[in-house]
Structure 1
Amino acid sequence: MIGLTPASVREVAVLGAHCDDIAMGVGGTLLTLAARHPGLRVRAFVLSGADTPREMEESHALRALCPQADLELSMLDIPDGRAPGYWEYVKLALESFGNRCEPDIVFAPQRADAHQDHRLVAELTPTVFRDHLVLGYEILKWEADTPRTAIYHPLSRETAEEKARILLKHYPSQADRDWFDEEAFLGLSRLRGVQCHHPHAEAFVMEKAIVRFGGS
């Protein structure tokens, strides 16, 4: 497979509709980036959960996924499943968030996600981060909306297991969901690993990118 290696990663933006979206979609990648780039700036934006017990879950989980990172979390209070009805509020909040960060890579949900809140974030992200590398992550759930991915970030088995451990430890509110377990998380990352010849991986849909041949 063709490998692409960014010259440097100093800051990343991670966007989610709900608490746990970021951890499920890009948790292993965050663990890897934080380990390889001490002091990495991580700017997180989540649509729902502010001033609820889920805000504490999200804060603790992101801290665990980004050890030694400079982490800032911005969270709104949009009701779950109602984000499209708050389009203008979300757009303004996302623009404000975008003005406060300078990411080298942006991670957000992917446009074909079956959940309307995820899709809204996916659709608005490129309108705010217009000149950035935007990678759309997949969110494990019961809907059959697993995307056809094109970008893979390999993970060691140890990293995949640590991601699963953090999810189970820090999101007790999700424990009653029949798909929220270690077997499901490791199953998906093992599948993506098979597709890129590695033990485990997280996979992404790319918005668009420029390729330059023969010069800078």
Structure 2
Amino acid sequence: MIRLDTGAVREIALLAAHCDDLAIGLGGTLLSLADSVAGLRVRALVLSGAGTERAREEQLALESFCPGADLELRVLDVPDGYAPAHWERVKDAVAALRRDGTPQLVFAPQRGDAHQDHRLLAELAPTEFRDHLILGYEILKWETDTPRPTVFHPLPDGIAERKAALLLKHYPSQRDRDWFDEQSFLGLSRLRGVQCRARHAESFLLDKATITFGGA
């Protein structure tokens, strides 16, 4: 497996349409980054859920997925499923997130996602974060839109199990969904692990990047 290194990561930006998207898509990666980077700066934008219990769930969840991090979360009240109708507001919010910091990594939904709200964020991310490394995460759900990933992040021992446990703990509003269970989350991370010669992994899609050969 060919390995590419990002270099030091001190700050990340997170884009999501719904509360729980981030934890499902890259919860293991967040745990790994927070465990390995002291004082990691995390700036997160979620489009829907403001003023509801879902926003409270998201705040507590991200605090657990990013322990010790300098976390800022903004949750908007864009109606679920109608983000494209609020294009200007979403665009402005993404632009504000970009102005707020200097992330080395940006995580956003991947372009092939079947949900229109996810796709909108995937399309807007590179229009604002033009000089950033953007990794598109996959969101497990009932649609058959599972992507063919191009970047894999092998998860340290125990992280996949920790991710699944935190998902079930912090999102009680989602427990009635027939796919929202430990087997689903561990099954996907095990599959991605097989594809990169690891026990468990999370995977991402990368549209564009530059590479430097031979070191710095």
TM-score over 0.5 for the alignment? yes
Following TM superposition, by how much is the alpha carbon of 1:214 offset from its aligned partner in structure 2, in angstroms?
A: 4.0
Question: Secondary structure of 2:203's match?
Answer: strand
Give deviations 1:94-139, integer Å, cap 9, x for gaps: 1111100210000110000000000001000010100000000000
Question: Secondary structure of 1:42's match?
Answer: strand
Does residue 35 (structure 1) correspond to residue 53 (structure 2)? The answer is no
- Structure 2 match to 1:50: 50
Normalised TM-score (structure 1): 0.98
Question: Secondary structure of 1:179's match?
Answer: coil
Question: Secondary structure of 2:73's match?
Answer: strand
- Structure 1 match to 2:68: 68
Q: Which amino acid aligns with 2:26?
A: V
CA contact (8 A) 1:133 1:207 kept: no
- Structure 1 match to 2:121: 121
Unaligned runs of 5+ in 1: none
CA contact (8 A) 2:32 2:156 kept: no
Structure 1: distance between partners of 2:213 and 2:190: 33
Figure out how many residues of one structure are paired with residues of the other and give that number.
216
- Structure 2 match to 1:138: 138
- Structure 2 match to 1:174: 174
CA contact (8 A) 2:13 2:97 kept: no
Q: Which amino acid aligns with 2:70?
A: D
Structure 1: distance between partners of 2:180 and 2:49: 19
Q: Which amino acid aligns with 1:154?
A: P
Q: Which amino acid aligns with 1:144?
A: T
Normalised TM-score (structure 2): 0.98
Structure 2: distance between partners of 1:90 and 1:188: 30
Following TM superposition, by how much is the alpha carbon of 1:66 offset from its aligned partner in structure 2, in angstroms?
A: 0.4
Question: Secondary structure of 1:77's match?
Answer: coil
CA contact (8 A) 2:27 2:65 kept: yes
- Structure 2 match to 1:80: 80
Following TM superposition, by how much is the alpha carbon of 1:156 offset from its aligned partner in structure 2, in angstroms?
A: 2.9
- Structure 2 match to 1:16: 16
Following TM superposition, by how much is the alpha carbon of 1:212 offset from its aligned partner in structure 2, in angstroms?
A: 2.1
- Structure 2 match to 1:151: 151
RMSD: 0.9
- Structure 1 match to 2:194: 194
CA contact (8 A) 1:106 1:132 kept: yes
Give the 3 Å change call, closer, same or farther, for CA 61–206 of structure 1 in structure 2.
same
My pick for the range that moved more, 2-11 or 28-37, is 2-11
